[in-house]
Chain A
Amino acid sequence: MGISHRMSRREFCGAGAATATALTFPLAFPLPAFAQSAARVVVIGGGFGGASCARALRQIDPKLQVTLVEPNRTFTSCPFSNNVIAGLRSIEKQQFGYDKIAASGVTLVPQAATAINVTARTVGLADGASLSYDRLVLSPGVDLRFDALQGYDEAAAAKMPHAWKAGEQTLLLRKQLEAMDDGGLVVIAAPANPFRCPPGPYERACLIAHYLKTKKPRSKLLILDAKDTFSKQRLFQNAWKELYPGMIEWISLSQGGKVNAVDPATNTLITDFGNHTAQVANVIPPQRAGRIAEIAGATDKTGWCAIDPVTFESRSAANIHVIGDACLAGAMPKSAFSANAQAKACASAIATLISGGSPAAPKLINTCYSLAAPDYGISVAGVYQPKNGLLADVEGAGGVSPADAPRDFRVREADYAQSWFATITAEVFG
């Protein structure tokens, strides 16, 4: 307590100078000119979407005051985290800091955003402080729905990991696989659409099978699915036959694959057609937009955020833009590539709106690689543009890797997958 009353000469001078500045500037210059030249954009969420957007905003218009609100000091990437689960990669290679983003002129606020006042245009922070904005960007990612599967709450996730947010959960699933006896049953429960990273559960099945084939070859992997079709399906199913014959079984929705409930005490997954008791159970539950989007009034009854496809502005909350996994981007899947592409388009639109212009219709690309093995890559790509109020596929473009490609094609796509990760993480965090 006493320390705060003692003021050194230097601190005193500093305070005096600050006061003089504060007094002089408003008297000498009209404020509105200053206010106009320094519009404030607050970005909530420091993942592929939010970090990209904050950086792009500063790059497009260095006069913008850009603040990035993200409580974590380190970002842990979901893309390539299936390699960590399979023992092919260290978690450290998934982790990135925010120093370069700060160096690019973005103000970092290492706090959780807890409240949004749409009328006053303020963001409330966990420590009680508040930030004012002219435009707000929400990139909160997904929240896992711990109310969707009976018995699957946060405590259950410590026994039956989702590993759908990278970090501790990723390492927990890896440890469970390492501790499992040869001959054990691994079960992955995959959710209905929409969810983060549509090919993710099936890539995970491949890379876990790669680990099992190498270390525990008598083991089996079962996918219990709440869907009848999935992303890159034929390519994945061909790879399962080719690389892991007899090891992976997929049970679709119509075959009784939908998990309705779990029992963490016995590691049991319960469907309408019966119970499956696993040695390792990876439960990927249904998801919705991160909670702050709901607080902002930006979610609809689906739990996701409807947006304008040109500006990414929320359909229900003015001056609030939503990008990445949290938004309903029409035909664009919930991927890191999409989030990054949307972030740059959104940043352009915001800069144009702030300068009084009207944003041009964007065109966006998604490219999403999956690894069926470390040297076996497959991809899906798409090109998108606004149509009838949604981001729609450009007809004739996009699609998946050819089903009949030679093996060297898969090797090249695996190499491109690695290059993509190096490039996008360097653009966002490097």
Chain B
Amino acid sequence: MRALRVAVGIAAAMVWSPPVLAASDPPPGAASCSGCHSAGATAASSIPRLNGRDAGDIVTAMAGFRDGSLPATVMNRIAKGFSDDESRAIAAWLAAQK
């Protein structure tokens, strides 16, 4: 009986706990970054990891890639697809990732 009460308690908690929101959905475009910029710490790569980086640094880099003041191979072509607002949202999300 005691075991059943515990089970009921657990199940009740499962049923009535408030819905867990996704750990903040990535803003448009952000999920694509990890195709090249490793989200994990394991891959050996010449391409910098962005998760946990300072958001301001990412926004500044994106603006530099966009106006050509920061030299790049491919990021200049990609940065032109994002506005300042979009870059800021992506940067804030990347900065919040572990």
Contact = CB atoms under 8 A, between A and B. Distances in A.
| Chain A complexes with chain B | yes
Interface stretch (A178-186, A239-247, A379-387): A379-387
B32 A24 contact: no
A415 B46 contact: yes
B28 A419 contact: no
Tell me what chain A mostly uses at the interface: helix, strand, loop, or mixed. helix
A28 B11 contact: yes
A344 B29 CA distance: 10
Contact of B46 (A29, A351, A416): A416
Interface string A390-404: 000010111101000
B31 interface: yes
Given A422-B43, A426-B43, A33 B22 contact: no
B96 interface: no
A423 B34 contact: yes
B35 A423 contact: yes
B8 interface: yes
A4 to B, nearest CB: 32
Interface size class of A (residues with CB under 8 A): 35 or more
Interface string B14-29: 1100011010011011
A341 B81 contact: no
A168 interface: no
A365 B29 contact: yes
A397 B15 contact: no
Contacts of B35: 337, 340-341, 365, 367, 420, 423-424, 427
Contacts of B4: 24, 28
B28 A360 contact: yes
Interface in A369-390: 379, 381-383, 385
Interface of A: 24-25, 28-29, 33, 37, 56, 60-61, 63, 337, 340-341, 344-345, 348, 351-352, 355, 360-365, 367, 379, 381-383, 385, 394, 396-399, 401, 409, 412-413, 415-416, 418-420, 422-424, 426-427, 430
5 contacts: A60-B22, A383-B29, A383-B80, A419-B43, A422-B43
